[in-house]
Amino acid sequence: MINQIDLMRLVDQYRDDGIVVPTMTGSRGWNIVSSNKNRDVPLGGAMGKASSFALGVALAQPDKRVIIFDGDGSLLMNLGSLVTIADKAPKNLYHFVLENGVYAVTGGQPIPGSTKLSFAGMAKEAGYPTSFEFDDLEEFASRVAEVMNSEGPVFICVKTTPEIQNEPMGLRKPSGLKPTKTAIRDLKHDLGLWD
């Protein structure tokens, strides 16, 4: 199993001026390592929607790398997005799924089928031209250039260590993440786009 922060540090080295769309547990990890927060759009409270949102960003900004940090539980809520992404085939999209086998944000309940399914296999069958699966940081580190230089859409399933949040929702410490509306405004400003 891979610590998501260690993984994200490697990915950040290849981000260039790319846009990153993290969701759920991935948002907290990415917030720690991000080298350009004006190009980050964390989607808190939008479980299942990161892949669809990132697809729209990738289509609207075809000259920018778009990286998704999705969760396994999140992706299960919107499996149809795999087919839609594969059909639209954005060459600039890198879809990471942090597979920890649990709904970490809501207390660590196991996701359905966690011992039976292959997210990388589903992405491949949905039509992603390139699909990877990693459970070892050294292996990922040795192949990160290959992954990030592949033509998208690229699907990367990473078996990560669960980071379960046990505090009740109303008692959690603030995450330090920008609200999504603020992140979108900052991204539009950084890209030179206006309302």
- For residue range 120-167, list pLDDT tens digits in order: 999 999 999 999 999 999 999 999 999 999 999 999 999 998 775 554
Q: Tell me, which fold does domain 4-191 have in CATH?
A: Rossmann fold (3.40.50)
Please answer whether residues 143 and 132 qualify as being in contact, where contact means their C-beta atoms are separated by less than 8 angstroms.
yes
Question: What confidence score (pLDDT) does residue 170 get?
Answer: 43
| pLDDT, tens digit, 9 for 90 and up, residues 11-62 | 999 999 999 999 877 888 899 999 999 999 998 777 789 999 999 999 999 9
Of 126 and 170, more confident: 126
Per DSSP bridges, beta strands 102-103 and 66-71 are: unpaired
| pLDDT, tens digit, 9 for 90 and up, residues 49-75 | 999 999 999 999 999 999 999 999 889
**Residue 135 backbone phi and psi in degrees, to 5:** -130, 10
Residues, the chain: 195
Q: How far separated are the first and last CA of the chain, in Å rounded?
A: 43
Per DSSP bridges, beta strands 93-99 and 102-103 are: unpaired
With bands split at pLDDT 50, 70 and 90, how would you rate the model's confidence at 184?
Answer: confident
With bands split at pLDDT 50, 70 and 90, how would you rate the model's confidence at 102?
Answer: confident
Residue partners of 186: CB distance under 8 A and separation at least 6:
37, 38, 178
The domain locations on the chain are 4-191
Question: What confidence score (pLDDT) does residue 64 get?
Answer: 96
Question: What confidence score (pLDDT) does residue 86 get?
Answer: 98
Give the Cα separation of 66 and 63 in Å (integer). 9
Average pLDDT, the chain: 87
pTM: 0.86
Of 104 and 26, more confident: 26
Residue partners of 70: CB distance under 8 A and separation at least 6:
23, 26, 50, 51, 95, 96, 97, 98
